Amino acid sequence: MKDVIQELLGQALHQLVKKDYLPKEVIKEPAEEIEISNCPDPKMGDYASNIAMKLAKTAGLPPMQLAEMLVEHTSRSRHIADITADKPGFINIKLADSCLFKIIIDVLEDGDLYGYRQPEERQRICVEFVSANPTGPLHVGHGRGAAYGASLSALLDAAGFDVHREYYVNDHGRQMDILAVSVWLRYLELCGESVNFPASGYRGDYVYDIARLIRNEHGDHLRHNKFEVSDNLPPDAKPDAKPDAKSGADADTADGAAEDDPGDKEKHIDALIQRARELLGKDGFRIVFKTALHAMLDNIRTDLAEFGVEFDEWFDEHKLDKSGAIDRTLQQLRDAGHVYEKDGAQWFRATTFGDSQDRVVVRDNGRTTYFASDIAYLESKLLRGYKPAIYVFGADHHGYIPRLKAAAEGLGHDPDDIEILLVQFANLYRAGVRLSMSTRSGEFTELRQLREEVGNDVARYYYIMRSHNQHMDFDLEQAKENDLDNPIYYIQYAHARIASLFRKLEDEGVRYNQAIGIDSVKLLTNDYEQQLIRGLLQFPELIQIAAEKRSPHMLAHFSHELARKLHTYYNAERILVDDENLRNARMCLLAATAQVLRNALRIMGCSAPEQM
Q: Which is nearer to RNA, 309 or 372 (CB)?
A: 372
Residues 349 and 252: their CA atoms lie apart, in Å, by 40
Determine if 25 is a binding residue for RNA (CB under 7 A).
Answer: no
Q: Which is nearer to RNA, 334 or 397 (CB)?
A: 397
Q: What is the DSSP string of 537-580?
A: HHHHHHHHHHHHTT-THHHHHHHHHHHHHHHHHHHHS-SS-S-H
Q: Which is nearer to RNA, 214 or 362 (CB)?
A: 362
In the complex, what is the shortest distance from the CB of residue 175 to RNA, in angstroms, rounded to a whole number? 4
Determine if 557 is a binding residue for RNA (CB under 7 A).
Answer: yes
Residues 578 and 575: their CA atoms lie apart, in Å, by 9
Residues 139 and 436: their CA atoms lie apart, in Å, by 12
Residues 146 and 308: their CA atoms lie apart, in Å, by 9
Counting DSSP H helices and E strands in the chain, the numbers are: 22, 15
Among candidate residues 290, 262, 184, 263, the one with its CA nearest the CA of residue 228 = 184
Determine if 357 is a binding residue for RNA (CB under 7 A).
Answer: yes
Could you give the string, one character per residue 71-90, with x where binding to RNA holds by CB under 7 A and - elsewhere? ---------------xxxxx
Contacts 24+ apart (CB under 8 A), 81-85: 82/45, 84/45, 85/52
Map the footprint of RNA across residues 163-202, applying CB under 7 A: 170, 172-175
Residues 47 and 3: their CA atoms lie apart, in Å, by 11
Map the footprint of RNA across residues 105-134, applying CB under 7 A: 133
In the complex, what is the shortest distance from the CB of residue 554 to RNA, in angstroms, rounded to a whole number? 6
Residues 521 and 389: their CA atoms lie apart, in Å, by 44
Determine if 40 is a binding residue for RNA (CB under 7 A).
Answer: yes
Give the residues across from 83 on adjacent strands.
93
> How many residues line the site for RNA (CB under 7 A)?
94
- Specify the length of the chain in residues: 612
Map the footprint of RNA across residues 214-273, applying CB under 7 A: 266
- Binding segment toward RNA, per CB under 7 A, in 157-165, 202-210, 548-556, 596-604: 548-556
Q: Which is nearer to RNA, 129 or 195 (CB)?
A: 129
Determine if 573 is a binding residue for RNA (CB under 7 A).
Answer: yes
Q: Which is nearer to RNA, 195 or 552 (CB)?
A: 552
Q: Among 310, 396, 416, 527, which residue interacts with RNA (rule: CB under 7 A)?
A: 396
Could you give the string, one character per residue 308-347, with x where binding to RNA holds by CB under 7 A and - elsewhere? ----------------------------------xxxx--
H helices present in 111-204, as ranges: 140-158, 174-191
Map the footprint of RNA across residues 439-498, applying CB under 7 A: 465-467, 469-473, 478, 482-485, 487, 489-490, 493, 496-497
Q: Which is nearer to RNA, 133 or 607 (CB)?
A: 133
In the sheet that holds 426-430, the strands lie side by side as: 433-434, 426-430, 472-475
Map the footprint of RNA across residues 129-158, applying CB under 7 A: 133
Distances (CA, A) of 435 to 430, 439, 444: 7, 12, 7
Map the footprint of RNA across residues 415-434, applying CB under 7 A: 422, 424-425
Q: Among 19, 384, 398, 511, which residue interacts with RNA (rule: CB under 7 A)?
A: 398
Determine if 63 is a binding residue for RNA (CB under 7 A).
Answer: yes
In the complex, what is the shortest distance from the CB of residue 484 to RNA, in angstroms, rounded to a whole number? 5
Determine if 553 is a binding residue for RNA (CB under 7 A).
Answer: yes
Q: Which is nearer to RNA, 2 or 294 (CB)?
A: 2
Determine if 395 is a binding residue for RNA (CB under 7 A).
Answer: yes
Environment class of 589 (CB within 10 Å of its CB; exposed 0-12, middle 13-18, buried 19+):
buried
Q: Which is nearer to RNA, 218 or 557 (CB)?
A: 557
Question: ∠ CA 413-414-416 to the nearest 5 degrees?
Answer: 135
Map the footprint of RNA across residues 502-531, applying CB under 7 A: 504
387 CB contacts (<8 Å, ≥6 apart)? 123, 124, 125, 417
Q: Among 57, 221, 322, 440, which residue interacts with RNA (rule: CB under 7 A)?
A: 57
Among candidate residues 163, 159, 156, the one with its CA nearest the CA of residue 118 = 159
